[in-house]
Structure 1
């Protein structure tokens, strides 16, 4: 953070941290919003929306109710970890903004530290009766839920699917409207693509070089498809049968010629997989909706496909078998995204809740899009804005209701690396049992044996 910005932030907090009356004594209050966004820099669109749309409209709405409410925006434009540290220090000292942007993956960590509390504890019963809950799918609400309690309102989210090249499918005699119902059907399609001469029939990220992409695009959706989550009921999933099933699926892909093991080991392997797909060299690719709207987007994509809409199909990630996924689902996905929380030490918690819920209203959510087609947390807004993009509408309608999230705990990144290493082991030829046992040992060293379920 630049020195001038540090001074400005300190001044804002001194005057208005946690909602003050500004010393006026006339009933006026000041609320503060903070986010890792700054006009002209990081997440500029969000910063501009907050300053130019949220603040004037909320203040006007409050004035119409006879209330003198002023809202300040405290910007940041720093590395995510720097921002996280700053927010944690603010909350630890019981200061900071009233409404705070967080990455959803931080919620549990902050909750366990006592830095954030359930919305209903801070704002009262109004938080549980908010109209917006009826517009946010239960699975999407999970982004802001920890230990069964709502700590945050989810912002936009995403979803993982299977992309496939329709031209390659036609060449292999596969349907253009492919809808696999099991892992075996994915493998069968991969075998048909291989017989048709497709260089890389299936690409599911694996290994440590792919980093978190291995976990989010592959291992965790597959684990959900095997009926388990990496963390549930206070325990981390160890060398369970579900974990072995996931590793077995990886092994079938990468030791039978259905996938390219070398690509998983390259530093730029994921980017290369994007290019290979765009070049028509990969038949099936597991990825998020980011791939559709930013990678193979016909005009401005990283690896543009001029005929994307005609040549690229997409399908739900099936459970290992019908009904075998988490919650008895036939299909699964994984999502991520940001949330907003209330500062539990706010001097004006109820007005702060009004501001937070206003920021997540249908009108505000649509305004934040600024005409772009992106997936929001609200079904009513998605129904309005995603009609122009059938793929994103597919994610909103079919993927989000079956999605799941990474555990929002501080130790998760270490667990993720251990999971990546397990996939790397089977890709390189290690047996499933050996890879699972190695993962179990690493997991127990990270979280403690008593916190691991098999």
Structure 2
């Protein structure tokens, strides 16, 4: 009888222990299930078809190594992208991770997450970027994103046209006066019709020529209180560009240079000798098998120091995200070397990440990629004032008269100044 009782007690203990183990197992399973629960992160971006294809691959690669995070992609064309975001923000929602430019104007409204505390928390190295690159993502001393790529400008040259004209290829010692002279020599006419142009540029790059000439747009690029475009150096820079079109006639008319695709077509059909442009032109050039071309450095103007453009559009995190940890994981992947390498292999960008910029992935090209690296080091951030968008919209409208030859640079600047001062100098 006692033996039976002992057996019963043992059986009861076994049942209790088994129940406890099962309970712990279920609790552990429940915890794992919770941690493995899939979270959806919304990623918004704009872009040409090549960009969209790379973005889709990046999302797929990320999901393959982050099973608990699903990336919902919110694409919109440039023409409607920002309006769509504004509508979402007004309604109290937002994508978790966003591709943005003019970041300062959005950071000011509070819709973006500050990056620096997160970088410190997760060990993200912000030293992988040049300080000038990060300026465009800083507001009130705080960082709200990092660039995807650099909008570095270089000088593209058509080797065939240089060879035909028996002109040496341009190098890093090129001056503005030499550039003007070469552009004239490369220009050809058949009667009154220009069959070959010497040089082309995007008129919206006018501010870079202003910097190259020692001029300034404002007294302070972050917190401007005064417009400085009436300075003789700034006016002279604008007139230099206008003269290429209307005086020397070595540059195509405004109608042919306001669209980069038309500039590219002139170059690839051997009707254009030089282009001031960025890396985005390269894919269209590499597709033309018999096109002989390379890149070199922008010219210097007088004794002014070397200057270029730093930074471009980049990635930000919403302050409204409901999944901050997962949003950070995806953001840090987007801005890290793996995603940067994918974009670099497309041949369309100058990577912002210094490690990728100086890697064989970028350097081993059929053209002189080192030029982009050297010019990037001379980069200067776009004006970071939230008023910059309105300023450039106004200047591009007024300065069109310079490109079409209807007005001198001085007259156009004087006409624009009241509106520009209203934008910049008003409280």
Do these two structures clear the TM 0.5 threshold for a shared fold by scoring above it?
A: yes
Distance in 1 separating the partners of 2:213 and 2:155: 16
Of 60, 66, 88, 1:58 maps to 66
Query: Which position in structure 2 is the counterpart of 1:397?
Result: 373
1:46 is displaced (CA, Å) by 0.7
Q: Deviations over 1:194-252 (max 9, x none)?
A: 599985554344xxxxxxx421xx30221221235546132254323332121121233
Q: 1:229 to 1:114 in 2, by over 3 A?
A: farther
Of 103, 123, 126, 2:121 maps to 126
- Quick check: 1:378 aligned with 2:353? yes
Q: Which piece of structure 1 moves more, 192-201 or 371-380?
A: 192-201
- Quick check: 1:102 aligned with 2:102? no
Query: Which position in structure 2 is the counterpart of 1:9?
Result: none
Query: Which position in structure 1 is the counterpart of 2:290?
Result: 307
Distance in 1 separating the partners of 2:293 and 2:275: 11
Query: Which position in structure 2 is the counterpart of 1:363?
Result: 338
Q: Which has the larger radius of gyration?
A: 2
Q: Secondary structure at the match of 1:43?
A: helix
Gapped regions of structure 1 (runs ≥ 5): 1-22, 60-69, 206-212
Gapped regions of structure 2 (runs ≥ 5): 1-30
Distance in 2 separating the partners of 1:96 and 1:433: 44
Query: Which position in structure 1 is the counterpart of 2:178?
Result: 185
**In 2, are the aligned partners of 1:222 and 1:319 still within 8 Å (CA)?**
no
- Quick check: 1:439 aligned with 2:390? no
**In 1, are the aligned partners of 2:151 and 2:278 still within 8 Å (CA)?**
yes
**In 1, are the aligned partners of 2:171 and 2:297 still within 8 Å (CA)?**
no
Task: Note the 1:54-93 alignment, pairs <5 A.
Answer: 54-59=62-67, 70-80=68-78, 82-92=80-90
Distance in 2 separating the partners of 1:180 and 1:195: 25
Q: 1:36 to 1:364 in 2, by over 3 A?
A: closer
Q: Which piece of structure 1 moves more, 274-283 or 347-356?
A: 347-356
Q: 1:277 to 1:416 in 2, by over 3 A?
A: same
Q: 1:279 to 1:359 in 2, by over 3 A?
A: closer
Distance in 2 separating the partners of 1:397 and 1:405: 16
1:365 is displaced (CA, Å) by 3.1
Q: Secondary structure at the match of 1:415?
A: helix
Of 301, 317, 326, 1:320 maps to 301
Distance in 2 separating the partners of 1:161 and 1:413: 24
**In 2, are the aligned partners of 1:171 and 1:196 still within 8 Å (CA)?**
no
Q: 1:267 to 1:256 in 2, by over 3 A?
A: closer
Of 164, 167, 177, 2:160 maps to 167
Q: 1:172 to 1:376 in 2, by over 3 A?
A: same
1:147 is displaced (CA, Å) by 4.8
Of 233, 250, 253, 2:222 maps to 233
**In 1, are the aligned partners of 2:203 and 2:258 still within 8 Å (CA)?**
no
Task: Note the 1:139-158 alignment, pairs <5 A.
Answer: 139-158=132-151
TM-score when normalising by structure 1: 0.72
Distance in 1 separating the partners of 2:119 and 2:282: 41
TM-score when normalising by structure 2: 0.76
1:346 is displaced (CA, Å) by 3.5
Query: Which position in structure 2 is the counterpart of 1:112?
Result: 108
Q: 1:172 to 1:356 in 2, by over 3 A?
A: same
RMSD, aligned α-carbons? 3.7
Distance in 2 separating the partners of 1:434 and 1:168: 36
Distance in 1 separating the partners of 2:173 and 2:328: 44
1:110 is displaced (CA, Å) by 0.8
Query: Which position in structure 2 is the counterpart of 1:220?
Result: 207
Count how many residue pairs are aligned between Structure 1 and Structure 2. 386
